[in-house]
Amino acid sequence: MRRNSLSRFLLAPLLAMFTAFAAATGEAGDGAGADRARQVIDDMEQLYRGDASRADITMIVKTPQYEREMSMSALTQGDDYAIYRIMSPKKDRGISTLKREQQMWNFFPKINKVIKVPPSMMMGSWMGSDFTNDDLVKQTSLVDEYHLDLEETETEYRIKLTPKQDTVTVWGQIDYIVDKERMLPLEQTFYDDRGTKVRRMLFTEPREFAGKTLPSVLEMVPLNKAGHSTRVIYDALDFEPADVSEDAFTLRNLKSRF
């Protein structure tokens, strides 16, 4: 069964960071246009397919008080394994995150310590950004766990996802928009269980990576925190790195110097 995880956006298929383009096969729900909605999601997922990926990323975190820029390397294998390392600035170099299935660890080289991220911290900020730890770890089968309703305009597919009764999620609704002509994601909006818009992710600046045209910039904007945003820029992205094995995604490798 294919799963959706933000880590899939942030690294593998636009790296593995945040949420709505991988889906399982099966019944898509009972809303209008559900079958076509499922097909659109499947097409989106094909953009990002790959057994492994390697990426060079720039992440820019903005707040009303400061702007912070980091260069990172990222490596993924499937949906279950990912490792992220900060390359610059120098004071943060070597800080790393390892994801193995539903578990996550951070390594801090200055104190030479690995810290496992507990369940209570999963909604906390990842690397000081507007993405959460849960965005990288959580995997959801959209088709199994959400109803899909499709609205078409002349230029866009607009899909509304609402959780089924037994679905465990913090989101009361997810809307996303796909460019019909280019079949590329444009925008996702996340709502809480009271129907309030909480955050929006924008996909911009399409460019070619390894023969695929993909958005090279992901921007997460929390709608309840004025002046805050996080931009993830893909400087390089390889969907078929030759030297990726499960050995790369171990606690021992997390602590390795480079």
The predicted-structure confidence for 86-136, as pLDDT tens digits, reads as follows: 999 999 999 999 999 889 999 999 999 999 999 888 888 988 899 988 887
Give the containing element (helix H, strand E) for 252: helix 251-254
Q: Which positions ≥6 away from 17 have C-beta within 8 Å? A: 6, 7, 9, 10, 11, 126, 131, 135, 136, 218, 220, 232
**Tokens for 191?**
């709502």
The reported pTM is 0.82
pLDDT over threshold 80, residue 239: yes
Most trustworthy range by pLDDT among 27-36, 122-131, 189-198: 189-198
Backbone angles phi, psi at 22, to 5 degrees: -110, 140
**Tokens for 165?**
């009764």
Residue 161 neighbours by CB distance under 10 Å: 29
Q: Which positions ≥6 away from 162 have C-beta within 8 Å? A: 31, 146, 147, 149, 172, 173
Chain segment 122-179, per-residue pLDDT in tens: 888 988 899 988 887 765 556 667 888 889 999 999 989 899 888 878 889 999 899 9
Weakest-pLDDT range from 33-42, 176-185, 188-197, 241-250: 33-42
Backbone angles phi, psi at 257, to 5 degrees: -85, 150
pLDDT at 139 (0 to 100): 58
Domain annotation for the chain: domains and CATH numbers: 6-236+248-254 (2.50.20.10)
What torsion, rounded to 10 degrees, do the Cα atoms 39, 40, 42, 47 define?
150
Structural contact between residues 24 and 160, judged by C-beta atoms closer than 8 angstroms: no
Chain segment 196-230, per-residue pLDDT in tens: 999 999 999 999 988 888 899 999 999 999 999 99
156-163 own/partner pairs: CB under 8 Å, 24+ apart: 156/180, 156/186, 157/36, 157/37, 157/40, 159/37, 159/40, 159/41, 160/31, 161/20, 162/31
CA nearest neighbour of 137 among 121, 115, 161: 121
Residue 250 neighbours by CB distance under 10 Å: 14
Q: Which residues pair with 55 in a beta bridge?
A: 74, 237
pLDDT over threshold 50, residue 25: no
Chain segment 48-57, per-residue pLDDT in tens: 656 788 899 9
pLDDT at 13 (0 to 100): 35
> Is beta strand 156-163 parallel, antiparallel or unpaired with respect to 197-209?
unpaired
Q: Which positions ≥6 away from 231 have C-beta within 8 Å? A: 58, 59, 60, 62, 217, 218, 219
pLDDT band at 80 (very low <50, low <70, confident <90, very high): confident
**Can you spell out the DSSP letters for 13-45?**
GG-----SS---SS---SSTTHHHHHHHHHHHH
